[in-house]
Amino acid sequence: MTASTDRDPTTHSPTDREGPEGVAGQLAGEVSSPEDVLTVVQEQAHVSVERRETGGVRVRVVTDEGPVLYPVALEAETVEVTRHPVEREVEAMPAPREEGDVTIIPVVEERAVLVTKLFVVEEIHIRRTRVTETVEVPVTLRRQRAVVEQLEPGAAEPGPGEG
């Protein structure tokens, strides 16, 4: 019997079985022509995906607060007031003036003489000095971090408002 190599492997003929003319006969040392070779077995593979819960993760955001000291420059201004007697006659009311970091305010009085004249009685000197001081001011800062927790398989995830 002659068989072709493109024959359907699911159909069997007597040569497909063990016997003097089948596979057992070829194993015993009989040589057959290429026309007598048949495919006896065909393998097929089926791959499928099965989803199975092996666990899960829960991610929480945690906010931490902690005090931090920041240097801040504080500026203060002090005023020193001094009085200086002058007793000088003037023709007109003098205006306040500044000399460097000193403001001078003239104080005037009228004196009755046959003629009225202006006399500078005193001057008030105001000196400004600045002091800068660096202090540390406590400030509360917040920093967030993510916490990842491994869940066991089958562990129920709590809903909003639970745990």
CA distances from 13 to 9, 30, 76, 103, 109 (A): 10, 19, 113, 128, 145
Identity of the residue numbered 143: R
DSSP secondary structure of 68-94: EEEEEEEEEEEEEEEEEEEEEEESSPP
Q: What is the pLDDT of residues 88-147, one digit of tens each?
A: 889 899 999 999 989 999 999 988 777 778 889 999 898 888 888 988 888 888 888 888
Nearest-5° angle of CA 71, CA 73, CA 76?
145
Q: Which two tokens stand for residue 142?
A: 């917040």
Most confident of 31-45, 82-96, 142-156: 82-96
Q: What is the pLDDT of residues 2-26, one digit of tens each?
A: 444 444 445 544 444 444 444 444 5
The pLDDT value recorded for residue 155 is 60
Q: Which two tokens stand for residue 52?
A: 């199975």
Distance (Å, whole) CA 22 – CA 26 = 7
Q: Is the pTM of this model over 0.85?
A: no
The pLDDT value recorded for residue 158 is 55
